[in-house]
Amino acid sequence: MKFSIIMPVYNEIATLEEIIRRVRAVDLTLNADGANDLIDRPLQLEKEIIVVDDGSTDGTREILTRWQTEAVDDLRIIYRARNGGKGAALRTGFQAATGTIFIVQDADLEYNPRDYTSLLIPILEGRTAVVYGSRFLGGPRAAMSLSHAIGNKGVTWFTNLLYGTLLTDMETCYKCFRREVLDGMVLHSQRFEIEAELTAKILKRNYSIFEVPISYNGRQFHEGKKLTWRDGFAAIATLVKYRFSD
């Protein structure tokens, strides 16, 4: 069983090497130990890391080119000719992934790959095909700015209103799902509205989204955060669009 980690990258020279180190360090051996009592034998998941460089200009590509020269076994690197946005990069990564289970991993250090096991267990136990890591279920986290907290909760509330669900964190990066969830799903989003489009289409296919608490170390705009208030409005527009159309 293979676990595909899809990582969109745009100008992340300051964090790229460290996040790749952390992803590689994660042990994906799962044992039948009571915490995951429906897994009746030890499981060792193969790992593939798919890095999609979305037209970086800050030296990120030089790091990736060096890794390609070193022929790192678990790393696949795809270069987009120009910056198209997170949605465009993820669509490229999904098409290239060969795993049984996918997860989205940002290239900054806001999300901790050590949470992978918590996200995987409900899927491997057969409880669900989709798991979101929630930053609002009590996991350890750095203080989030008030504007981002209000924005996240507002967009999540709007998702629940439109789709009749009870999510706590629709905008989370950590979306983990079985490969077949994407079968036949055509995604169009270019930027951060991909989070809303994915969620809308998952819910419209009648998948139940299981949430687990994760840790979070949010960064601020001066540290390279790219999400703005405009993206919140784009997410709402996307939610409305796909509630009433395909």
Give the pLDDT confidence of 104-143 residue by residue, as tens digits: 999 999 999 999 999 999 999 999 999 999 999 987 777 6
For the question of whether the overall pTM of this predicted structure is more than 0.85, the answer is yes
Tens-place pLDDT, residues 75-115? 999 999 999 999 999 999 999 999 999 999 999 999 999 99
- What is the torsional sign of CA 131, 208, 165, 184? positive
Mean pLDDT of 36-51: 76
Whole-angstrom Cα distance, residue 56 to residue 66? 15
Mean pLDDT of 168-194: 95
Task: Please name the fold of domain 2-240.
Answer: Spore Coat Polysaccharide Biosynthesis Protein SpsA; Chain A (3.90.550)
State the first-to-last Cα distance of the chain, in angstroms, to the nearest integer: 31
Q: What is the pLDDT of residue 147?
A: 78
Q: What is the pLDDT of residue 144?
A: 72
Q: Is 53's pLDDT higher than 90?
A: yes
Annotated domain spans of the chain: 2-240
Task: Report the mean per-residue pLDDT for the chain.
Answer: 89
Mean pLDDT of 177-203: 96
